[in-house]
Amino acid sequence: MASKSSIAVLIPCKDEAISLGKVVERFRAILPEARIYVGNNASTDRTEEIARELGCIVVNEVQPGKGNMVRKLLRYAQADYYFLIDGDNTYEIEAAVEMLVLIQNKDLDSVIAKRVASAEDKNTERTGHLFGNRLINSFYNFLFKSNLSDVLSGYRLFSDSFVKTFPANSSGFEIEVELSAHANLISASVLEVDTSYSSRSDGSESKLRTFRDGFRIVRTIFALNRRIKPVRNFAITTSPLFIAVIYLFLRALFPYVISGRVSNFPSLILGSGLLVVISVLFAMSIIMEQAISNHLSTLNLAKRASSGNV
């Protein structure tokens, strides 16, 4: 089935000269017909040189950040199916065949390689990374009502229709969260596949900074929840305000019930002001929800037109 469709392999890299060659060779062994695009994100080692020696299509991006590199790769590549994978040689590349069969046979929009590390590799993995992954997965699934097990996986497969609707606004490692959230927004059909995950090669260093990038990812999840699910975001963020309004009104009403006099005018005024603020925020969230609904309708019409169903 793979031979009937064009396939692009996108490998965003920054200083991955040690492992890039192995990633390219392993992909060529199982998908020789695929076109391999290597994104050189301001590398200071031989990443670009090695990519050209291996016959890959090199796409350069001077702005630092994985998200910036992925956005440029998606703009350059043209295919029916797109693999996205890091150049660190930690993923089970051979799972590409199973992922491709799944996306074609089940007519999926995306397949995510869920990382399953061996006990040995777990012991060598940084504790902060492991804890951060679990925390971010739980937080994402709570906000987006999702059941994904690995929202930060860097090994994914997309259909052409999914890629064409993806805005790619992120600049750094939060790109994976944005990909997952976009699938949630458009109600894309997504499956996860268990794949083995190994440690980096000796001399290869992760570019992910646990606290700095973890904070950016969490901040992005908040922003995406506000943009994609405005009414739900309103309910979560204004709950403390609503509780404060109830408290302030009760402070003003209890003396009135007992004595017939309103003695806590400041509480009544402040509560009324907060209620006005909540009402305005609610109206804004309804407008945003309607705008998103209209946007999704436009996307669906565009997808139907491109597939010849209109």
Instruction: Express each pLDDT in 171-189 by its tens digit.
Output: 888 999 999 999 988 889 9
Residue 142, phi then psi, degrees to nearest 5: -65, -45
Task: Say if CB 177 and CB 141 are below 8 A apart.
Answer: no
Q: What is the pTM of this model?
A: 0.77
**Burial (CB count within 10 angstroms: exposed 0-12, middle 13-18, buried 19+), residue 65:** buried
Reported as a pLDDT band with limits 50, 70 and 90, residue 75 is: very high
Residue 246, phi then psi, degrees to nearest 5: -60, -45
Reported as a pLDDT band with limits 50, 70 and 90, residue 129 is: low
Q: What is the pLDDT of residues 220-249, one digit of tens each?
A: 888 888 777 787 778 888 888 889 989 888
Q: How does strand 81-84 pair with strand 156-159?
A: antiparallel
CATH topology of domain 2-226: Spore Coat Polysaccharide Biosynthesis Protein SpsA; Chain A (3.90.550)
Question: 196 - beta bridge partners?
Answer: 116
Lay out the sheet containing 57-60: strands in order across. Answer: 57-60, 35-40, 7-13, 81-84, 156-159, 110-117, 190-197
Residue 250: enclosing H or E segment and its boundaries?
A: helix 239-259
What residues have CB less than 8 Å from 285, skipping those under 6 apart?
Answer: 230, 231, 233, 234
Reported as a pLDDT band with limits 50, 70 and 90, residue 153 is: very high
Token code pair at residue 88: 């660190």
- State CA 236 to chain mean position distance: 21
**CA nearest 109: which of 165, 190, 5?**
190
**CA nearest 225: which of 288, 274, 168, 156?**
288
| Percent of residues, the chain, with pLDDT higher than 90 | 47
